[in-house]
Amino acid sequence: MQTLEAMNVFVEETGGWVASQLEACTRCGMCAEACHFYQGTGNPEYAPVWKLELLRRAYEQRFTLTGKFKLLLGIDKRISDEDLDHWSEINYYACTVCNKCSMVCPMGIDLGPLLHGVRAGLAAAGKVPDDLMVAVNKQIEEGSPLGMTSEVWDSRLEWVADDWDVVIPRDVKGADTLVVFSSIEVMKFPSNIAAIAKILNKAGENWTVSSKAREVVNFGFYEGSEEHTKLFLQRVLDGAKELGVKRIVVTECGHAYDALRWLAGNLIPEANDFEITHITGVLGELVGSGRIKVKPGFFDENDSGTITFHDACKIQRRGGYIKEPREVLNILAPKSFKEMTPNREEAICCGGGGGVIAIKAADPMRYAAFELKIEQVNKVGATTVTMSCSNCRLQFTDGVEHFNLDWKITGLAQMVADAMED
């Protein structure tokens, strides 16, 4: 029965866009070479093409004569419950939908959205890892996977405003910009909230946060359920509408930006009424134009060693904010900033995105993938790693602890705020 649920979704979502790409695959296996989970563990089942196999088989069996023929002759079998269980594991435990595979496919197949398509079917069949579903349900009920209810949010913001002595405008009707934080920042990296508030206030931005739209993280997106993805997006849009803003700024979170900027407009038309941007872009603009003044070479001074930048999959490779971090870091730390290799759109994923970090059973894979990052950072000899995504920051922080490393992990907004001239 569950199989039919999955098949139904696969059939519904397979249009020309999906089908022409599934048809283009030549089984060359190149995508595996790009996948950090395969590289880290050596498990061939983590090859992205294999993760997609469920969707491809569904397409072949339902939409092609070859597929029907193969079923008839017993060359292929109908997709079973066991298949769903197995593919759930390889898709949710060992994929962050980082899209690096898309970059190396000789055919140019855009695997990211296709992998989301697999998750959609699995979600409809209820084959989502428990840990992840718990988080999804929490977001449905409490507004945030980390349980950041209205009350918790309120008190956290009060505390940040107080402790860091910043003004955080709340629910200001008629403001230009709505800033939506992620609960990861609010709950785990509260200094980031203060940093961003400080920067925006100094720049004279007419901004606000919204209690309705208090959570930018979208666990429905990780789950793959279109219904839940839309639900969480709608909350953000409702907050924006209520306050009458023109622009929505997503703070340091990756997948949230991906969902809001590139998906929302096709799911919920009113999303296109707003300009949607990422804080990295705002930072680049503010620093570059001189609207906020920073001390050049601020991070070179205290001789803190090499600083390197980790490109976040959804902000750099899938977001396009590639030059802004470099511009900023070349001002803040012209001597200490060194790029790791590969970087920019070719960067290796941290291993914690896509919901992976929320799934306990996926820890071994996640740490195996992280070892690739360790190798990169060590090769460039960095002792500080900075980034523009707080989920990456969570993964790096956890990784540093797990592997007993002595790196400093920070964020771009934090660095800008620290270097700001008063």
Applying CB under 8 A, the residues found at the interface with other proteins are 8-9, 11-12, 14-21, 23-30, 32-34, 38-39, 42, 44-45, 47, 49-50, 53, 62-66, 75, 102-110, 124, 227, 261-266, 269, 271-272, 316-320, 322, 341-342, 345-346
Query: Rounded to the nearest whole angstrom, what is the least distance from the CB of residue 384 to other proteins in the complex?
Result: 23
Q: Which of 49, 263, 225, 2 is nearest to 120 (CA)?
A: 225
| Shortest spacing between CB 49 and other proteins, in angstroms | 6
Among candidate residues 59, 73, 71, the one with its CA nearest the CA of residue 24: 59
- Least spacing, CB of residue 418 vs other proteins, in Å: 28
Contact 119, 259 (CB under 8 A): no
Whether residue 236 contacts residue 245, with contact meaning beta carbons closer than 8 Å, is answered with: no
Residue closer to other proteins (CB basis): 105 or 175: 105
SS3 306: strand
What sign results for the dihedral spanned by CA atoms 36, 39, 44, 49? Answer: positive
Select 156 or 317, whichever has its Cβ closest to other proteins: 317
The CA-atom distances, in angstroms, between 44 and each of 33, 82, 129 are 10, 19, 21
- Report the DSSP beta bridge partners of residue 103: none
Beta carbon nearer to other proteins, 158 or 270: 270
Who's near 255: CB < 8 A, 6+ residues apart?
Answer: 97, 217, 218, 221, 222, 314, 353, 354, 391
Give 93's contacts (C-beta < 8 A, 6+ positions apart).
Answer: 129, 356, 359, 361, 362, 365
Helix (H), strand (E) at residue 208? strand 207-208
Q: Give least dist CB 229 to other proteins, A.
A: 14
28 versus 361: smaller Cβ distance to other proteins: 28
Name the minimum Å distance from CB 45 to other proteins. 7
Task: Please say which residue, 113 or 169, places its beta carbon nearer to other proteins.
Answer: 113
Rounded to 5°, angle at Cα 112 from 107 and 113 = 105
Q: Cβ closer to other proteins: 163 or 273?
A: 273
Q: What is residue 391's three-state secondary structure?
A: helix
**Nearest to other proteins of 141, 227 (CB atom):** 227
Give Cα separations from 104 to 108, 367, 375 (angstroms): 7, 23, 21
Between 285 and 345, CB nearer to other proteins? 345
* Rounded least distance, CB 65 to other proteins, Å: 7
Question: In the bound complex, what is the minimum distance in angstroms from residue 317's beta carbon to other proteins?
Answer: 6
Q: In the complex, what is the shortest distance from the CB of residue 233 to other proteins, in angstroms, rounded to a whole number? A: 12
